[in-house]
Homo-oligomer: A and B are copies of this chain.
Amino acid sequence: MSKTNAGRFFEDYSVGQVIRHAVPRTVAEGERALYHALYPARHALYSSDAFAIACGLDSSPLDDLIAFHTVFGKTVPDISLNALANLGYAEGRWLAPVWPGDTLRAVSEVIGLKQNSNGKSGVVWVRTSGLNQVDEPVLDYVRWVMVRKRDADAPAPETVKPDLAEAVPADALVVPEGLDFGAYDFGLAGEPHRWGDYQIGEKIDHVDGVTIEEAEHMLATRLWQNTAKVHFDATNRDDGKRLIYGGHIISMARALSFNGLANAQMIVALNGGTHANPCFAGDTVRAWSEVLDKAETGAPGVGAIRLRLVATKGDSGAFPLKGQDGRYVPEVLLDLDYWALMPL
Q: Does A274 contact B (CB under 8 A)?
A: no
A209: which B residues are within 8 A, CB to CB? 229, 232-233, 235
The answer on a CB contact under 8 Å between B233 and A105 is no
Q: Which of A2-51 contact B (CB under 8 A)?
A: 2-5, 20, 22-26, 28-34, 36-42, 44, 47-51
The answer on a CB contact under 8 Å between B216 and A50 is no
Q: Which of B25, B50, B225, B233 touches A211 (beta carbons < 8 Å)?
A: B233
Q: Does A284 contact B (CB under 8 A)?
A: yes
A193: which B residues are within 8 A, CB to CB? 3
Q: Are A232 and B259 also in contact (CB < 8 A) when A24-B48, A33-B31, A40-B225 are?
A: no
The answer on a CB contact under 8 Å between B36 and A223 is yes
Q: Does A213 contact B (CB under 8 A)?
A: yes
Q: Does A297 contact B (CB under 8 A)?
A: no
Q: Shortest Cβ distance from A334 into chain B, in angstroms? A: 18
CA distance A187 to B216 in the complex (A): 31
A183: which B residues are within 8 A, CB to CB? none
| Contact code string A111-141 (vs B, CB < 8 Å = 1, else 0) | 0000000000000000000000100000000
The answer on a CB contact under 8 Å between A23 and B207 is no
Q: Shortest Cβ distance from A199 into chain B, in angstroms? A: 11
Q: Which of B50, B204, B208, B225 touches A36 (beta carbons < 8 Å)?
A: B225
- Which single residue of chain B is at the shortest CB-CB distance from A227? B40
Q: Which of B50, B51, B197, B233 touches A210 (beta carbons < 8 Å)?
A: B233
